[in-house]
Chains A and B, each alone.
Chain A
Amino acid sequence: MRFALALAVLAATLPAHAQNQWVLAQSTLTWHVTHPMHEVAGTSHAAKGKGTCAKGECNFLIAVPVNTFHSGDSNRDLHTLQVVRGAEFPMVMVRTRLPQSALTSPTIRANLEVQLAGQTAHYSDVLLHRTQHGNDVEITGTIPATCSDFKIERPSFLTVPIHNEIPVDFDVLWRPE
């Protein structure tokens, strides 16, 4: 009887414990650059992330090496790496803190802290969409990043610089650990 009770308690606590730790299973991050003559996007699938929940609050961190973004043109990718000082600051990092209760909502408003090019920018109330896939949770959204947020000198073509806005779309799949 005691053994059965112990098993029942263990079974009840395991899922709860599992959802205290999240790991990034899949990711697609895409930056967009607009120039009057060009519209270019660069994508990376190399992000890694972790989420930890304690006392009703969850902290998430996603990081991705800058040099893993590919736009289909190696020259452009090297230029991108240069302007975002990707050799000096090789990682892009996104942090957020959410109430654990928000993780079950289909839409989440998050405050994001983004580190890029040696600068840190904060984005408030970024809308995230959540979709449940079995145990996994897919989160999609767009970070409304701009070049000026990170003191990035805007590259120009024919003396016309790219637009200041460089939104980053993300589609990440979190898995309970």
Chain B
Amino acid sequence: MSTEATVRVFALVFWLQEQAAVLRGICPGRGITLTASLLLIPFLTFAQSVSHPAATDAIFSSSLLPSAELPDAPAPPRPQNAQTQQQKPQQNNEPTLGDLGFTPAQTQANAKLQARLNKRTHMLKIHQTLGLITLAPLAATVIVSSGATPKHSHTSNGTVIEPSSSGVDLHAALGSTTAVLYGLTAYCAIAAPKIAGVKPKGAIRLHRDLVWIHLPGMVLTPILGGMALDQENQGEKPHGIAAAHSYVAWTTVTAYAASAVAVSWPIHWKFWEK
């Protein structure tokens, strides 16, 4: 095979690679090369048997493969990390980004960081949604708590009215639901990617600091509730640490609500304005 024929065969290989990539919607790769090589076998045989260059010219002539009819080759992928922003061609002494003295680190794209930010936002959106959903069973637990505690009658004999078992069960079920949802909410915040070099600042600091109150509270409250229930079932008035169940619960609820408000601060109620 002559040198010219070899060059033309390589050109055909590339063209077939491009066609295959266009057809399959992917960039040329190893598999495509193999496919193209297999497709080339008849052409290679033909090229080897051709003795007159005019014959090969006929194969590759523009009349057979007009360039205008050929689809454009897919653009090669650009390496994201090496990409820098802007690069508008300079015209009429227009200043460019390079003239301003920014460091390459400031102007260079960082696809990995963008991916981390995207994942972070995604997880924190779930955190926010679950956190708000958790407010519902939390409030319900507080509301039904009155049906789960013994009541003292105002009569002179001071009779104690025991709570109904259904009231206690409802309170416990709602409390458990709250604890599970709270755990999922916390997981989403903890598992969200951290961005290096960013220190918590502003309202988010209070939101995070309040975790040290409502997290232990959310663990302790059901434990103390269970202890108090056991003591009541034994005919005893809740005593010791179990007696603190309602106080711990209220502290937890207050800290949780404050945490939700803190992350939304400052709040301006302007629904009536456009």
Contacts and interface: CB of A to CB of B under 8 A. Distances in A.
Asked if A pairs with B, the answer is yes
Interface of A: 36-39, 48-52, 54, 57, 59-61, 63, 65, 71-79, 81-83, 85-91, 93, 95, 97, 115, 157-158
A48 B107 CA distance: 12
B117 A91 contact: no
A61 B268 contact: no
A63 B100 contact: yes
Given A63-B97, A65-B102, A54 B92 contact: yes
Given A37-B264, A54-B92, A91-B106, A48 B100 contact: yes
A74 B202 contact: yes
B114 A72 contact: no
Interface residues of B, number: 46
Interface stretch (B4-12, B30-38, B193-201, B213-221): B193-201
Given A38-B266, A38-B267, A63-B100, A79 B110 contact: no
A15 to B, nearest CB: 19
A91 B271 CA distance: 34
A156 B174 CA distance: 29
Given A75-B263, A90-B107, A91-B106, A52 B94 contact: yes
Interface of B: 80, 85-86, 92-97, 99-102, 106-111, 113-114, 116-118, 120-121, 124, 132, 195, 198-204, 207, 263-264, 266-271, 273
Given A59-B95, A73-B203, A87-B109, 8 more contacts: A37-B269, A38-B266, A52-B94, A61-B97, A73-B204, A88-B111, A93-B97, A97-B94
Given A74-B201, A78-B195, A115-B86, A50 B100 contact: yes
A38 B109 CA distance: 31
B118 A73 contact: no
A82 B100 CA distance: 25
B202 A76 contact: yes
Contacts of B207: 75
